[in-house]
Amino acid sequence: MDMPYKKSNRSSRQPSTGAHAKSLFLPMPRKEASDLALRARIALERLRNGEAERSLINLVSQIVIIASFITRTGHGRLDIADIELVERRLGEVLLEADRTGTLNVSESLIAGLTAVVNEYDRQLSVTRMEIVLRASDHLGKLVDMAARDTRANDSHLQDAR
């Protein structure tokens, strides 16, 4: 008696679990890495051209946090102190904007951001996907914490009224 042909339920487009696990040990696919790097470079150029918007500062801040995480895992070429300096200076820009209503991004901060964006681009091209995913998860946790803190501060302000 012949065994009936059994068709796999898995789509041929979906990688197997083993293939997915193996892909985590490879760098991000070139197209995705290039798309992310291009987005970072466009934001940097907009800042360099004087377009100081909070959304741009937030985007480059996220890039700095991801580059910092990847560097701390041993996959960076920049000194972590240089990345931390850029991160602190971006925070100062946001605090100053909250106080004065003006976003002021200095040339020296642009220079530091350029180095970090270049490193981020390199990291995306050569770092294992697993490390990039961990960096992204770390960023997500920081964003969630900041959102909770903002909601808590807003509720305290309303209670005070």
Question: pLDDT tens digits, residue range 112-148?
Answer: 999 999 999 999 999 999 999 999 999 999 989 988 8
Q: Give the model's pLDDT for residue 6.
A: 47
Question: Token digits for 85?
Answer: 């300096």
What average pLDDT does range 66-95 have in this prediction? 97
* CA–CA separation, 126 and 30 (whole Å): 10
Pair of tokens at residue 7: 């068709």
What does the domain layout of the chain look like in residue ranges? Answer: 29-149
What is residue 94's three-state secondary structure? helix
* DSSP state, residue 7: -
Rounded to whole angstroms, how far apart are CA atoms 88 and 155? 27
| Euclidean distance between CA atoms 97 and 72, whole angstroms | 29
